[in-house]
Amino acid sequence: MIAGSPTAPRRLDAQARRDQIMRAAAGLFTERGFEAVGMGDVAAALQISRPAVYSYFPSTEAMLDALLDELLEHLPARLAPHLNASEPISFGALFLTLLQEGDLLRLLNSGGGPLFRARRQAFLQAIEAKLRDQGLTEFKLSRLDRQPHLLPILLSLLTGLAHDHLTRQDAEADPAALAATLENFIHAGIRGVLPDMTQAYGTARSA
């Protein structure tokens, strides 16, 4: 996990120190915003020297890349149970799964500059590629790719709404009800864009 207190004993092996730096950076990125965090901030948070941080990462951009790589390694497997090729995709279930990925959602929304946006987009594209590489929903994804922008739109919608639900003031609203509404909304949209996919995706689900 990338969340948690950055403070830890000073005497650490190389991997433990690297992980500690990554956790501290993730906390600072989500608290202050990616563009507002420098290498010195990470060093100060851990009470170690700036050269010690540079010995593991050349920049905060490299820390961000390492964090996203770590999250990318596990996310497709967590989404896989909801992408069974023999059944209609449950976008509501995907949404509820993403709600459990608070570290990822906060990190993906921790910056707004061009560099951050480019890395965020590359991460989302990598998720799509990993799902294809693992053979998940090959039949469905090939159909969605007839509209090449549809899958990225769906992924951005799911991650954006999940982050919004976690951070807005009414976050105590029933997530299951929101998931059901989202399920109906997305299925209706897919049938509108690809009307011949009604059978492949099933009828819109209700709560």
Give CA angle at 21 (35, 11), nearest 5°: 155
CB burial of residue 73 (10 Å; 0-12, 13-18, 19+): exposed
Task: Choose between 127 and 190: higher pLDDT.
Answer: 127
C-alpha to C-alpha distances, 60 to 31, 37, 67, 95, nearest whole angstrom: 15, 8, 11, 30
Let me know: does 119 contact 35? Beta carbons within 8 Å.
Answer: no
Pairwise CA distance, residues 201 & 207, whole Å: 17
pLDDT at 197: 55
Closest CA to 68 of 111, 15, 8: 111
CB burial of residue 14 (10 Å; 0-12, 13-18, 19+): exposed
**Given a cut of 80, is residue 131 above it in pLDDT?**
no
**Given a cut of 70, is residue 128 above it in pLDDT?**
yes
- pLDDT band (50, 70, 90) for residue 78: confident
- pLDDT band (50, 70, 90) for residue 152: confident
**Given a cut of 60, is residue 199 above it in pLDDT?**
no
pLDDT at 29: 96
Domain 14-58 has CATH 3.60.15.10: no
Pairwise CA distance, residues 18 & 35, whole Å: 21
The overall average pLDDT reported for the chain is 79
pTM: 0.73
Task: Choose between 55 and 11: higher pLDDT.
Answer: 55
